[in-house]
Amino acid sequence: MAYSYKGAIEFGLVYIPITLSSCVKNNDIGFNMIDKNTMSRIKYKKTCVDCNEKEVKNEDIVKGYQYEKGKYVIFTDKDFEKIKTEKDKSITIEQFVDLNEVDPIYFDRSYYVQPVGADKAFNLLLEAMKKQNKAGIAKSVLGTKETLILIRAAGDTMLLNTMFFEEEIQAAPTIKQSKLSKKELDLASSLISQMTAKFEIDKFKDEYNEKLKKAIKRKIAGNDIVEPKEKKQGARIINIMEALQKSLKPEKKRVRAK
């Protein structure tokens, strides 16, 4: 796995050099943009707005902040690094929290944490968090952005989740509350109970991705894509009680012991 970060975790006076590698790999099937008449790939050019749309090379492109219309100050990679303090360059744990207190809505990306030399300090932190079911909350500047971070144990693995700040989460939409009867709630609870099973991630597969791969093979072989035959669904049930009752599986009859 390619490392995406090399730095350190600090908590108290303990310093643990680490690397991060992404937990997620991209399984998306890539498609190119093609001119349907010439079957040639479409190319995107970076052009200069004020110089007759002249193409600009990557090495001539810099970051600029517009402080007045048409006026910019230029920032280089060295400028961004100069702003960072030593604390910004490390992942400094500011406090520990109960893991179940953290709403998953704040999670962004996940990374595996690996120690670089300080194995004992790394394992000590991992085991202590696991024992108390705690997670470390930290901040660090990754790239050019300060990032909120959660560090947690997952079995014998340490995971790091980048998180959104509170101001980055939009307010939830207002939903009109409905008056529910006890019978409706009981039926809905029974349906949920019937559909409840242990969460096993390997049972869930990307079925559309597999269909797409088969469709690509058919196209390469010169065959048309065949639309799958599906059973027609009955009319949607509008009455909620009727829909719940028809959704429930009949209970198995108990056999009386002889």
Residue 137 has pLDDT above 90, yes or no: yes
Residue 22's beta-bridge partner residues? 111
Tens digit of each residue's pLDDT (9 = 90 or more) over 63-83:
999 999 989 999 988 888 888
Q: Beta strand pairing status for 3-11 and 91-98?
A: parallel
Backbone φ and ψ for 27, nearest 5 degrees, come out as -105, 10
Identify the CATH number of the domain in which residue 110 sits: 2.40.290.10
In a domain, 50, yes or no: no
Residue span of the structural domain in which 11 resides:
3-24+82-167
Cα angle vertex 72, ends 57, 61, to 5°?
Answer: 10
In a domain, 54, yes or no: no
Nearest to 61 by CA among 49, 70, 69: 49
Tens digit of each residue's pLDDT (9 = 90 or more) over 162-186:
999 999 999 989 988 888 889 888 8
When pLDDT is cut at 50, 70 and 90, the band that residue 3 belongs to is: low
Task: Say if residues 4 and 20 touch (Cβ distance below 8 Å).
Answer: yes
Count of structural domains, the chain: 1
In a domain, 221, yes or no: no
d(CA 111, CA 31): 27
In a domain, 156, yes or no: yes
Q: What is the pTM of this model?
A: 0.75
In a domain, 17, yes or no: yes
d(CA 143, CA 222): 47
Using DSSP, state whether 211 is helix, strand or coil.
helix
Residue with tokens 């052009």: 47
